[in-house]
Structures are given as structure tokens and as C-alpha cells.
Amino acid sequence: MEKHSSGDEVTEMCLLALSFFSFLAFTRAEISSKIGINYGQLGDNLPSPSQSIELIKSMKAGRVKLYDANPEILNLLSGTKIQVSIMVPNQEISNISSNQTLADQWVRDNVLSYYPQTRIRFIVVGNEVLSYYSDRDRETWSNLVPAMRRIKKSLQAYNIPNIKVGTSVAMDVMESSFPPSSGMFRSDILDTVMVPLLEFLSGTNSFFFLDVYPYLAWSANPFNISLDYALLRGGNLNYTDPISNLVYTNLLDQMLDSVIFAMEKLGYPNIRLLISETGWPNAGDVDQPGANVYNAALYNQNLIKKMTAKPAVGTPARPGMTIPTFIFALYNENQKRGPGTERHWGLLDCNGKPVYGVDLTGEQESNDDQLPMPQNNKPYQGKIWCVVASEVNPEQLVSALIYACSQGNGTCDALMPGKECYKPVSLLSHASYAFSSYWANFRSLGANCYFNGLAVQTTEDPSRGSCKFPSVTL
Ligand SMILES: *[C@@H]1O[C@H](CO)[C@@H](O)[C@H](O)[C@H]1NC(C)=O
Ligand SMILES: *[C@@H]1O[C@H](CO)[C@@H](O)[C@H](O)[C@H]1NC(C)=O
Ligand SMILES: *[C@@H]1O[C@H](CO)[C@@H](O)[C@H](O)[C@H]1NC(C)=O
Ligand SMILES: *[C@@H]1O[C@H](CO)[C@@H](O)[C@H](O)[C@H]1NC(C)=O
Ligand SMILES: *[C@@H]1O[C@H](CO)[C@@H](O)[C@H](O)[C@H]1NC(C)=O
């Protein structure tokens, strides 16, 4: 079977870990104190909150961003110099938007209880609420800015006006982002959400919180975009915007400026940008080129250098602008769903060990020659199958098999008695066939070869005799 890093392997590695204090000794993941880190917790094998805060301190990160307002973590951060960003969960937005008492309560419980000993600086109302991937969020769109206003009003009432209130959005709020000067927000949210949002951010002197991933733009179009340009090392790869005549040397600047142009078109040329998430995956599936330790190290290293340079470099549209930046993420998180890259964004693995030992302080010369050479920078071309991972739970496998076969389109026809893949009648071989068939049928509609870690991609044809396994061809 193809070499892979399934969730099972990761869990195993973590069970072998020594005690916490033994791994602190070989932590060398220091980052610039001007850089923030996203502390996501979607893993069942991660160091505890107190170990995590010790790690963040030892990394000397200047800021940490949470995806909630976890009381234990906020208490642990008390008395440290680390600036903290907390989040109002998406599902609480609608209630808060219509009820000032609820907003006041939220601020009392999640801010006043810790502030100022815990240096809360940002409240992010909702995580990528304006993205398309959740239909429930869509109902929240119109409540978003009203909720932000109520949270801000509470902060003012409690006399803590310095905490900035924002909301994090992904690049899919853009209808057009290339060339950067054509930057425009999606028409379905333009008047109803973006205009009031910009008015709020401008009026409260807050930031536009952007989750921005050159990796995603590059991997969607790896033949037309140079990898070096995406990795922030395209000094000799210049792109001149035909309308603005601004010269771009990297994809990140291009993406940031498209947002700047979009805001400018709505009459808000001065709202500051904050990068609420960016990063590069250190591993991924066969069909995900460019996801490797080498590129992840390089991207984050170049990013930190750029964002901490003195004087600030900014972007072509806003030279000299300082852009507060939070890297995604602290850990590889094994419970994130979706393609393999989703579980591999961490600077640290689940033992708290650095995934790549390069300088992230922005102060030293690049030492990327110590890293393994990347093997998957060119998109894989050929057939891929989706089969059962090693060491899976049989009961979960039965459920996954039933799920795959119930999706229609003849996914499991060949497994019926008398058909070509009926024999051998074993759970493993039926499930592998079903996974391959399901993925081949539905990949174009966004289906993953994952099944909660039960499935992995392979380039080795599992077909036997007259039983041909359907494949995805790249
Ligand atoms: C929102 O309010 C409704 C009605 O009061 C309540 O039933 C619901 O539990 C609340 N939702 C959340 C997420 O607090
Ligand atoms: C607002 O929320 C509070 C606390 O849950 C509740 O007592 C009150 O009835 C709500 N007000 C309205 C207008 O729904
Ligand atoms: C890549 O560039 C070529 C030539 O400029 C163009 O024909 C093609 O449509 C582009 N592909 C994508 C996916 O943008
Ligand atoms: C690209 O632009 C950079 C920065 O403006 C400049 O230093 C470099 O010489 C340019 N390279 C080419 C090939 O034009
Ligand atoms: C279902 O099967 C048909 C015939 O094999 C194929 O053309 C179609 O694309 C499939 N639909 C999906 C959603 O994969």
C-alpha cells in the first residue's frame, strides 16, 4: 500500500510520546514575537491546554488566537504578555444580534472575567461565517454585523473600548480577485453584509480579518501559477497589474491587494488588514501537490520575514503598511475533516515537537537546506484509488461501507452476489472497492477519500482478476 500518514499512524506516534517535560527540551520552534499563532484544538491527541500555553510561551509568540473563549486557556494566559484573540462561536451570533442582554452577558462571561490580567485584544465574531460551506451559516449572514455592533456596544458600556471587534472571512468573499485591481466582493453579500461591515470596521477603527492561503490558490491552479511565486520567493517573477500598473512579486500580495481594491471601491480605502489565518500544509494526499514539510517551512519562514521587516514593507497597493499576522496553526489537528492537508497545518506535531526545525524568528538566514527535498511539488498525474487504511475499527468500517454504497449511482453494483467484485466476501475488500467507487463517482462534487481516517489514497491498482476498481485519473 502507498505510504501515507493516516490519523492512525499519528495517534500511534503520540501514544509513544514521552512525558511533556521531556519534549520541551527539544523544542526549537521559536517564532517572531510580532507574529501570532492560531491555537486550534480539533485533535484528540494534542498536548493539554497548560502544556500548550507553555509551548506558546517557549515559542515566544506575541499573540494567540482562539476559536472560542475557553475559560481554562484564558486563565492560563493570565499574567502573560501574550495578546489574545477570542471568538464568538457562529451559532451564538443570531441570538446576540437581537438581544443586547445576551451580548452584555457574553462580554461579562468571556471578557470581563479575565481582562485585563489576560490581555484580550481582539474579539472575532464568527469564523468564516460568509463562506458557502455551511448552509446554516447563510442564515447568520444578515445577523453578523448587528451582533458585532452589540458586542462593541457592551465593551464600550463596560469601559473597555480598546478591544477590536472583527469577523474572519475567507477569500471566497471575493467575486473577483485577479488582477488585484479588479478586486470585488461577492454580489450576494455586497450590499447586505460587506457595506455595513466596512462601515462598522471603519467607524470603530478595527481591522478587516482575512484568512488568506496562497497554497489554496496555487494548488487549484498549479500549472499556471509558479510555486515560487506562491512561496514568497519569486523575486524575479514579477506580475504587473495591467490596470493599476502595480508590480507583484508574490501571490500573497496579490490576494491582499485584491481585498484592498474591493474595499476601496466601496469607499473605504483606509481599513487596516489583519491576516487572521495563513500557512502552508506540511503533508497531504496524493492528489494534493505541494503539501510538504519543505514548502511549509519555506512559506512560513518567508512570511514571517516579510511581516516583521523593519521598516514594514506592506503590499504594492499599501507600501509600508503593517499587517498583524496569525499563522495557522499551532498543531496538526487530527480531527479536522476533509482532504489530507486539513490535518497537517501545524508548526508542531501532536507531541508538541516542531514539524520543521527552521528559523521562524525572521532574524536568521534561511536554513532550509536541512530539510528533506520535496517529492510532490509537481501535480501527480495518473490513476489514484481510495482504499481502506491500515488498522481500522471494523464496526466503523461497516458504517462507512453502508454509507458509501447508499450514495447511489451504482457505486456498489459490482459487489452484489454473482457480480465481478462479490468475491472475496470480506469486509476489507468490499469496503476498499466501495471507497474507490464512491470517490471516483463523487470526487467532482467535492467528495473526499477520507471516511474519518478509514480511507487513504493509493497509486497502486487494487483491482484483481475481473474485478476492476474504479479510479480517479489526474
Ligand atoms: C438562541 O435562543 C433561542 C431562543 O431563546 C434558544 O432556544 C437557543 O438555545 C439559543 N441558541 C443558542 C446557540 O444559544
Ligand atoms: C434577551 O435574553 C435574555 C437572557 O437570555 C432574556 O431574559 C430576554 O428575555 C431576552 N430578550 C428578548 C427581547 O428576547
Ligand atoms: C492556464 O493558462 C492557459 C494559457 O494561458 C489557459 O489557456 C488556461 O485556461 C489556464 N488554466 C487555468 C486553469 O486557468
Ligand atoms: C521584480 O521586481 C522586484 C521588486 O520590484 C525587483 O527587485 C526585481 O528586479 C524585478 N525582477 C525583474 C526580473 O523584473
Ligand atoms: C453517475 O454515473 C453516470 C454514468 O456512469 C455518470 O455519467 C455520472 O457522472 C455519475 N454521476 C456522478 C455524480 O458521479
**Beta strand pairing call for 35-39 and 83-88:** unpaired
Q: C-alpha grid cell for residue 183? A: 478586486
Tens of pLDDT, residue by residue over 330-372, are 999 999 999 999 999 999 999 999 998 777 888 776 666 778 8
DSSP 373: P
How far apart CA 65 and CA 202 sit, in angstroms, is 22
Q: What is the pLDDT of residue 359?
A: 76
**Which atom of ligand 2 lies at the shortest distance from residue 105's CA?**
4
**Ligand 2 near 102 CB (within 6 A):** yes
Q: Is 128 a catalytic residue?
A: yes
**Does the structure show a pLDDT above 50 at 12?**
no
Residue 54 falls in the annotated catalytic set: no
Quick check: 67 pLDDT over 60? yes
Cis peptide bond prior to 311, omega within 30° of 0: yes
- Supply the pLDDT for residue 24: 40
- Give the 3-state secondary structure of 376-404: CCCCCCCEEEEEECCCCCHHHHHHHHHHH
- Residue type present at position 200: F
Could you report the per-residue pLDDT of 138-177, keeping only the tens digit for each? 789 999 999 999 999 999 999 999 999 999 999 999 999 9
On whether the CB atoms of residues 251 and 225 are closer than 8 A, the answer is yes
Q: Name the band, by pLDDT with cuts 50, 70 and 90, for residue 237.
A: confident
Phi, psi of 376 (to 5 degrees): -125, 35
Residue 332 in 3-state DSSP?
coil
Residues with Cβ within 8 Å of 54's Cβ and at least 6 positions away in sequence, in order, are: 24
- Say yes or no: CB of residue 441 within 6 Å of ligand 5: yes
Rounded Cα gap, residues 125 and 166, in angstroms:
6
3-state percent helix, strand, coil for the chain, nearest multiple of 5: 40, 15, 45
Q: To the nearest 10°, report the CA torsion of 170, 174, 179, 180.
A: -60
User: 399 CB less than 6 Å from ligand 3?
Assistant: no
CA dist 321 and 173 (Å) reads 22
Enumerate the β-bridge partners of residue 66. Answer: 39
**β-strand 325-327 against 383-388: which pairing, if any?**
unpaired
The type of residue at 355 is: V
247 CB within 6 A, ligand 4: yes
| Model pLDDT, residue 104 | 98
Mutate to test the pocket of ligand 3, among 177, 224, 226 (most ligand atoms within 8 A of CB): 224
How far apart are alpha carbons 469 and 361 in whole angstroms? 49
- pLDDT over 60 at 452, yes or no: yes
Residue 7 binned pLDDT confidence (cut-offs 50, 70, 90) = very low
Q: Is residue 91 within 6 Å of ligand 1 at its C-beta?
A: yes
- In this structure, is the dihedral angle defined by the CA atoms of residues 6, 230, 212 and 49, taken in order, positive or negative? positive
Considering every ligand atom, which ligand is closest to the CA of 140? Answer: 1
Q: In CATH, what class is 27-370?
A: alpha beta
Is the C-beta atom of 160 inside 6 A of ligand 2?
A: no
- Residue 176: helix, strand or coil by DSSP? strand
Beta strands in 241-330 (DSSP E): 247-248, 272-278, 325-327
pLDDT digits (tens, 9 = 90+) for 192-224: 999 999 999 999 999 999 999 999 999 999 999
Between 409 and 22, where is the model more confident?
Answer: 409
Ligand number nearest to the C-alpha of 470: 5
CATH number of 383-473: 3.20.20.60, 1.10.10.10, 1.10.150.240, 1.20.58.1040? 1.20.58.1040
pLDDT of the residue at 14: 55
Residue range 14-25: average pLDDT? 42
User: Residue ranges per domain, the chain?
Assistant: 27-370, 383-473
Structure confidence at residue 1 (pLDDT): 29
Of 9, 30, 92, 128, which one is the catalytic site residue? 128
Q: How many Å apart are CA 290 and CA 226, to the nearest integer? A: 11
Cα(348)–Cα(66) distance, rounded to whole angstroms? 16
Which residue owns the Cα nearest ligand 4 atom 12? 236
C-alpha 92 – ligand 2 centre gap (Å): 14
Handedness of CA 77, 79, 81, 84 (dihedral sign): positive
- Find the helix packing angle between 195-203 and 135-157, rounded to 10°: 20
Q: Are 439 and 456 in contact (CB under 8 A)?
A: no
Ligand nearest to the CA of 219: 3
- Rounded to two decimals, the pTM is 0.91
Place of cell 500500500: 1
